[in-house]
Amino acid sequence: MWMEILFLDTALPPPPSAPESVRGRAGAWAEFHGCVRAAERGEKIAALRYDIYEVMARRMVTTHLETLEKKHGLIAARFWHRGGIVPVGEAAVYAAIAAPHRREAFAALAELMDLLKTDVPIWKAEVVPA
């Protein structure tokens, strides 16, 4: 499986399209952008601050993607997560999955995001307006 995992401390760039190597094999390239909302638990916020243990996070996302590859027959995956301050309205995470069919791609993408919140060492904290 083609795989790209990046942790960035700047705004996530516009993601490129599916990698060249999967074209013709993937019937679906499903994408997800996780963005910061203006309120958390009913309180207005200015941003979220993310802390990432990168070495371990990379290893765990790799393991989860390999598990999802076996389960759903994935062809490619791209996972980007931003660290540091992420202002309201901006994306903190971008994930994309290529699979032969849309059902597998959608399912794997949803499962990846659930797994991310289970055990991948990334943390967020609210930054309140000044």
For other proteins, give the closer residue by CB, 16 or 123: 123
For other proteins, give the closer residue by CB, 2 or 124: 124
Report helix, strand or coil for 127. strand
Which positions touch other proteins (CB under 8 A)? Answer: 34, 50-53, 55-57, 59, 81, 92-93, 113, 116-125
DSSP label at residue 50: E
What is the rounded radius of gyration, in angstroms, for the C-alpha atoms of the chain?
Answer: 15
Instruction: Using the CB atoms, write b or e for 6-45: b if 16+ within 10 Å.
Output: ebeeeebeeeeebbeebeeebebbbebeeebeeeeeeeeb
> In the bound complex, what is the minimum distance in angstroms from residue 77's beta carbon to other proteins?
15
For other proteins, give the closer residue by CB, 74 or 92: 92
For other proteins, give the closer residue by CB, 58 or 73: 58
Distance from the Cα of residue 73 to its chain's centroid: 19
> In the bound complex, what is the minimum distance in angstroms from residue 7's beta carbon to other proteins?
11
> In the bound complex, what is the minimum distance in angstroms from residue 17's beta carbon to other proteins?
23
